[in-house]
A and B are shown apart, each in its own frame.
Chain A
Amino acid sequence: MIREFGADEIDPLAIGAWILGTGGGGSPYLAQLNLKQLYAEGKTCKLIDPAALADDDYVAVVSKMGAPLVGQERLVDPAHLARAVQVMEEYLGKKFRAIMSVEIGGGNAISPFLAGAILDYPVVDADAMGRAYPEAQMTSFAIGDLRMYPLSLVDCRDNEVVVARAASWKWMERISRKVCTEVGSTSATCKAPRTGKEVKEWGVLHTVTKATRLGRAVLEARAAHADPIAAVLEHEGGKILFKGKVADMDRTTTGGFLRGTATMEGLDADRGSKLELAFQNEWAVGFRDGEPIVMTPDLICVLDTVSGEAIGTETLRYGQRVTVIALPAPDVLLTPKGLDHVGPRAFGYDLDFKSVFAA
């Protein structure tokens, strides 16, 4: 129920997390470097199964917050993530039992490991999305109407802030975003603490294991010169949607999000067809020859056809050979309440959700 997380699991976790990022979530590269540094210094992490949490245990939910460009300069420092957890403990007057990630997709998959290695707290094998999403209300905890406060925020200059209370998830987003901007648009945060019961009830479970296995499958397929995409599909029960090359990439930055559409022309069996993938940080809806064929919350992943490497909405470019696949979404996102938060309408598409995995 609690085990060592091996140094040889870091790369697979990063690769798997990048795939589950569904085009967004931010590159795990800097977090991955940090975790390797910590392991090289003799620190290690443990992974705890959610079932091993007592109902009244407290779990810290950590993530880094800010503009990706600023993150490229100020980098990620595990000490600040750890400090955000301590600030929360001091505020609550309680000790945490474990730490978890808010999103398994992208760099934040590794954030709890960075704090956990320093504080010697185990990392919970769970997150609150099972993928990546751009906004705070798009978590399973928000879908469960759990409390969204308090939140602690730490910056590298000894500035520490606690948002004691917020009227809604949206207010929490606005207030914490404002503080983050003031300290230079990058910070470490500890979100509203969860009880063991809440994690077991509302968390998306076993996603660390899932991401790590996924990454390992890709690495093993590559080493054996086998098809890494086939490995991904097999491991996750995914579906191949389209094989083609990028014919156009239209991006705009509005309201702090990267939005746009990627157009792909079919190759091989899909020759003659066209796939348009709309995104808001992450891939949101796919239209094949004008017809919607895949939509959030199903996970839409764009992979390099040869290497199986995930390609983000920020880096996809004309001419790349890509395979678009869908992976099943966590059940909590598929409930009527879940779809209110993360279905196609939450992204401005007037479509009824239909899963590619529906019988």
Chain B
Amino acid sequence: MKRIGIDVGGTNTDAVLIDKSTVLAAVKSPTTSDVMSGVINSIQRLVKAQGDAPLDIDAVMIGTTHFTNAVVERARLDRVAAIRIAMPAAASLPPMVDWPADLRASVNPLSFMVAGGHEYDGRPLVPLDRDAIRDAAMRMRDAGITAVGITALFSPLTAECEVEAAEIVSSVLPEARITLSHRLGRIGLLERENVTLLNASLQSLGQTTVEAFRSALASVGIRAPFYLTQNDGTVVLAEVAAANPVYSFASGPTNSMRGAAFLSGRTEGMVIDVGGTTSDIGCLVNGFPREANNIVEVGGVRTLFRMPDLLPMALGGGTIIDPETGRIGPRSVGYRITEKALVFGGDTLTTTDIAVAAGIVEIGDRDRVKHLDRSLVDSRLKGIHQMIEDGVDRMKTSAGDMPIIVVGGGAFLVPRELSGVSEVVHVEHAGVANALGAAMAQVSGEVDQVFSDMSRDAALAAAQEIATQRAVEAGADLNTISLVDAEDIPIAYLPGDARRVRARVVGTIGTPGMKLVA
């Protein structure tokens, strides 16, 4: 069972070839502006590392920053139609009211606020205005818009208005690609609508990106099924992922965390991924990144949906140290480290220079940092360790020491001992943990909805069945599916013993499709 894992990052495109859990080859290449030539180049180097023998690939797993970049750059976004079903409530704050003006302009929304939606206790707010939705669909057709986001009041508890509205829109506009808010977000109308509309705006890019990856893989002779990695550390078949690009927003750091779990063989603990400019600290729970419960901003937009709980810190291998004040960061020389850092003959003092001077790591020319004052080196090293200790402490949810797994190119900055940490785990292949995390990823299925008029056991079983069905749709092998987590919250104010159940299952990828020789 051979797989290729690829992680397209801002600076590097990392790729690994694995056979079951053995790493056969790992390469790092610069990310190219067109992305695809970098991906092709990486795969060709993997092939070369295997002695140009034919590759028998079962699956390719890709993590990409394509979608986040589009939002951040305000580019390649579709014009969106926003339907909000909540009138006469929430009338004063229209869709995208709190988006940055430039992003709103690039999405240029056609917004409709129609009557309908539900209350928290399941009563309709007012009857759904079906005619208004039909009119909206006709106006979308006239404007040539196919990317549609529908958000109804309290839809995470009662989804029927969104489902019915989608049917009406599809009947008028069969080519519409519709995002329903209850499938993505949680309680919090503006935040859930924001995620929905971001997702709608990325529909074309989702399709073209998947097509581009498909032809890039074909050009190097790979026709195996391929998958995109998700915020929760799992993968879904690329064509399924194309419909929900927002689920790929945080795939980079998530892949690193999954890689850390795989490389260390651990399922619980903290993970620090030290890059060139920043570090991310996260927490593994049951082998997967802990989910954020608070608002996460994406490109200046407030969102509340399935995202990993991460603490970004301005600390990496290229972080600049002010020789006068000793201040560490926040600026970094970034990818120009090989020309700027002292050990490479440059003129900028970086964290890497401090580590080399302290004899922790051998990079570049150690003689070039010999002149550094020993007390400066020691105090700055201590400062770096302090930053890491503070970060780890902030990400804990309770007191008590926890192990930390260290990955990323700047892993050498993390010492063997840290206060508040029971064990610092350094691993092999730490530099390509992200690509490994992608390669090893499993397929998940998730459900988060309200069940009523059934017992608790029946509700949990029903939730697991829906999650399983979704996992199989996303490419999982039915026989390998297991439950990762399930929780239920009784909703006291709803009739019929109602409870909200969240369940998530994972399984290994299903029967491989066509295999081809590279």
- Complex contact A315–B294 (CB within 8 A): yes
Residue from A77, A248, A315 with most neighbouring chain B CB atoms (10 Å):
A77
Residue A69 interfacial (CB < 8 Å)? yes
Residue of B nearest to A38 (CB): B92
Q: Which residues of A are found within 8 Å of B395, using beta-carbon distances?
A: 319
- Complex contact B125–A72 (CB within 8 A): no
- Complex contact B92–A245 (CB within 8 A): no
**In the complex, per-residue mask of A229-271: 1 if CB is within 8 Å of any chain B CB, else 0:** 0000000000000000101100000000000000000000000
Residue A209 interfacial (CB < 8 Å)? no
Given A245-B393, A315-B294, A319-B395, CB of A70 within 8 Å of CB of B93: no
- Complex contact A73–B93 (CB within 8 A): no
- Complex contact B188–A79 (CB within 8 A): no
- Complex contact A69–B120 (CB within 8 A): yes
CB distance from A178 to the nearest CB of B (A): 14
- Complex contact B154–A73 (CB within 8 A): yes
For the complex, give the distance between the alpha carbons of A76 and B90 in Å. 6
Q: Which residues of A are found within 8 Å of B91, using beta-carbon distances?
A: 77, 79, 156
- Complex contact A318–B398 (CB within 8 A): yes
CB distance from A17 to the nearest CB of B (A): 18
CB distance from A225 to the nearest CB of B (A): 12
Given A72-B189, A184-B120, CB of A157 within 8 Å of CB of B92: no
Residue B190 interfacial (CB < 8 Å)? yes
For the complex, give the distance between the alpha carbons of A184 and B154 in Å. 11
Residue B153 interfacial (CB < 8 Å)? yes
CB distance from B223 to the nearest CB of A (A): 46
Q: Which residues of B are found within 8 Å of A321, using beta-carbon distances?
A: 390, 394
Q: Between A and B, how many residue pairs show CB distances below 8 Å?
A: 76
Given A69-B120, A74-B153, A318-B397, CB of A34 within 8 Å of CB of B92: yes
For the complex, give the distance between the alpha carbons of A77 and B119 in Å. 16
Residue B89 interfacial (CB < 8 Å)? yes
For the complex, give the distance between the alpha carbons of A67 and B121 in Å. 13
Residue B187 interfacial (CB < 8 Å)? yes
Residue B53 interfacial (CB < 8 Å)? no
Chain B interface size, as a band, is 20 to 34
For the complex, give the distance between the alpha carbons of A78 and B91 in Å. 9
- Complex contact B120–A30 (CB within 8 A): no
Residue of B nearest to A79 (CB): B92
Residue from A75, A317, A318 with most neighbouring chain B CB atoms (10 Å):
A75
- Complex contact B189–A75 (CB within 8 A): yes
Q: Which residues of B are found within 8 Å of A74, using beta-carbon distances?
A: 86, 89-90, 153, 189
For the complex, give the distance between the alpha carbons of A351 and B154 in Å. 43
- Complex contact B92–A69 (CB within 8 A): no
- Complex contact A33–B93 (CB within 8 A): yes
- Complex contact A69–B187 (CB within 8 A): yes
CB distance from B286 to the nearest CB of A (A): 19
Residue A355 interfacial (CB < 8 Å)? no
- Complex contact B120–A185 (CB within 8 A): yes
Which residues of chain A (308-336) have a CB below 8 Å from chain B? Answer: 315, 317-321
Given A75-B90, A184-B125, CB of A33 within 8 Å of CB of B98: yes
For the complex, give the distance between the alpha carbons of A77 and B153 in Å. 15
For the complex, give the distance between the alpha carbons of A304 and B398 in Å. 19
For the complex, give the distance between the alpha carbons of A156 and B90 in Å. 9
For the complex, give the distance between the alpha carbons of A315 and B293 in Å. 10
Residue of A nearest to B302 (CB): A29
Given contacts A30-B190, A75-B190, A185-B120, 7 further A-B contacts (CB under 8 A): A30-B93, A33-B97, A72-B188, A73-B86, A73-B188, A184-B125, A248-B398
Could you list 29 examples of A-B contacts with CB < 8 Å?
A30-B93, A30-B190, A33-B97, A34-B92, A37-B93, A72-B187, A72-B188, A72-B189, A73-B153, A74-B86, A75-B92, A75-B189, A76-B93, A77-B89, A156-B88, A156-B91, A157-B88, A157-B125, A157-B126, A247-B399, A248-B399, A315-B294, A317-B397, A318-B396, A318-B398, A319-B394, A319-B395, A319-B396, A321-B390
Interface residues of chain A, those whose CB is within 8 Å of chain B, are 30, 33-34, 37, 67, 69-70, 72-79, 156-157, 184-185, 245, 247-248, 315, 317-321
Interface residues of chain B, those whose CB is within 8 Å of chain A, are 86, 88-93, 97-98, 119-121, 123, 125-126, 153-154, 187-190, 294, 390, 393-399
The 5 tightest CB contacts between A and B, nearest first, are A75-B90, A319-B394, A184-B119, A74-B89, A156-B88
